[in-house]
């Protein structure tokens, strides 16, 4: 396995990461990190990718020939291979609360989510490259359910790691004292009573499919054992990917 850093310039940024991500996934590479900025010549996207050395040349050709790309350059750097899961206790085995989920989200690619979780736990809170890779790796039909499952497992793991010693709280206090600080490690967020407003969500860029199902699951996982109420339900009522200024998640029971 080796790393490949690429820099592309496009006339516009909307949907650029999603479209190029599909090409990356088709060539069996994963996204390690990315940076997207607007410069004078256009939208400049830098990607650090990891994958098989023998697929790098084909990937470079495919990215350089993509119709959205008006300038392309790349730098190759060898990296030692290794199993990331060996160096961290699998989140999938430690994330669940004492009472396991009664059912998994219908349609989720459970096996792929489970394989991703140890790496996500190791890199936490720098989790968005893992989630973007998950979006590309699963089928369109499994995307939302897989993001939700990943969110719920991650939220339960964060609760158990950081908040499990506290007493059960009424819902508004659980949102303020648990969900809000946990989310602030990942994103810019504000609380308005039983709503959480996320600004600039990395998974909900305009022109791209919404990634809000991850945060729906994440908040539910955080609050499942912390709130003094049964059946916590989180619903996204507004999404930045559809043009709203913020993503709004409403918590109820």
Residues 156, 221 within the same domain: yes
Out of 47, 78, 109, a domain closes at 78
Q: Which residue has the higher pLDDT, 212 or 34?
A: 212
Q: What domain range includes position 59?
A: 2-78
- The Cα–Cα gap between 46 and 5 comes to 7
Q: Among the three residues 29, 58, 78, which one is the final residue of a domain in this structure?
A: 78
- The arithmetic mean of pLDDT across residues 106-112, rounded, is 83
Q: What is the pLDDT of residue 231?
A: 80
CA distances from 1 to 35, 78, 132, 170, 247 (A): 22, 7, 20, 49, 37
> What token pair was written down for 20?
């190029």
Question: Model's pTM, two decimal places?
Answer: 0.65
Strand order in the sheet with 30-39: 30-39, 42-51, 2-10, 71-78
How much is the average pLDDT of 90-96? 45
Lowest mean pLDDT of 41-55, 122-136, 190-204, 210-224, name the range: 41-55
Say if CB 97 and CB 225 are below 8 A apart: yes
Question: Closest Cα to residue 149, out of 82, 84, 218, 212?
Answer: 218
Alpha-carbon gap, residue 5 to 44, rounded angstroms: 13
Question: Domain boundary residue among 38, 63, 78?
Answer: 78
Query: Rounded distance, CA 26 to CA 31, Å?
Result: 12
Distance CA 214, CA 234 (A): 11
Mean pLDDT of the chain: 84
Q: What's the CATH number where 224 sits? A: 3.30.1380
The model's confidence at residue 102, banded by pLDDT at 50, 70 and 90, is very low
Taking the C-alpha atoms of residue 8 and residue 104, their distance in angstroms, rounded to an integer, is 39
Q: Tell me the DSSP string of 32-48.
A: EEEEEEEETTEEEEEEE
- The structural domain count of the chain equals 2
Q: What is the largest CA-CA distance in the chain?
A: 57
More confident of the two residues 76 and 128:
128
């Amino acid at each position: 396995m080796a790393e490949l850093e690429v820099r592309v310039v496009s006339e516009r940024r909307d949907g650029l990461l999603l479209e190029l991500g599909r090409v990356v996934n088709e060539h069996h590479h994963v996204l390690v990190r990315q940076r997207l900025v607007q410069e004078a010549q256009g939208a400049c996207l830098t990607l650090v990718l990891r994958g098989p050395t023998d697929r790098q040349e084909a990937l470079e050709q495919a990215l350089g020939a993509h119709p959205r790309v008006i300038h392309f350059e790349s730098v190759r750097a060898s990296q030692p291979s290794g199993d990331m899961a060996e160096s961290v206790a699998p989140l999938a085995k430690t994330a669940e609360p004492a009472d396991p989920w009664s059912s998994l989200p219908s349609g989720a690619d459970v096996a792929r989510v489970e394989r991703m979780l140890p790496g996500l736990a190791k890199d936490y809170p720098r989790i968005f490259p893992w989630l973007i890779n998950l979006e590309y790796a699963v089928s369109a039909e499994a995307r939302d359910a897989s993001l939700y499952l990943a969110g719920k497992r991650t939220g339960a793991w964060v609760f158990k790691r950081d908040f499990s010693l506290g007493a059960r709280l009424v819902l508004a206090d659980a949102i303020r004292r648990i969900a809000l600080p946990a989310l602030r490690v990942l994103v810019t967020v504000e609380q308005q009573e039983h709503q959480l407003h996320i600004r600039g969500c990395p998974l909900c860029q305009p022109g791209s499919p919404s990634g809000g199902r991850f945060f729906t699951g994440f908040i539910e996982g955080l609050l499942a054992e912390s709130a003094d109420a049964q059946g916590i339900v989180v619903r996204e009522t507004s999404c930045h990917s559809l043009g709203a200024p913020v993503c709004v998640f409403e918590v109820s029971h």
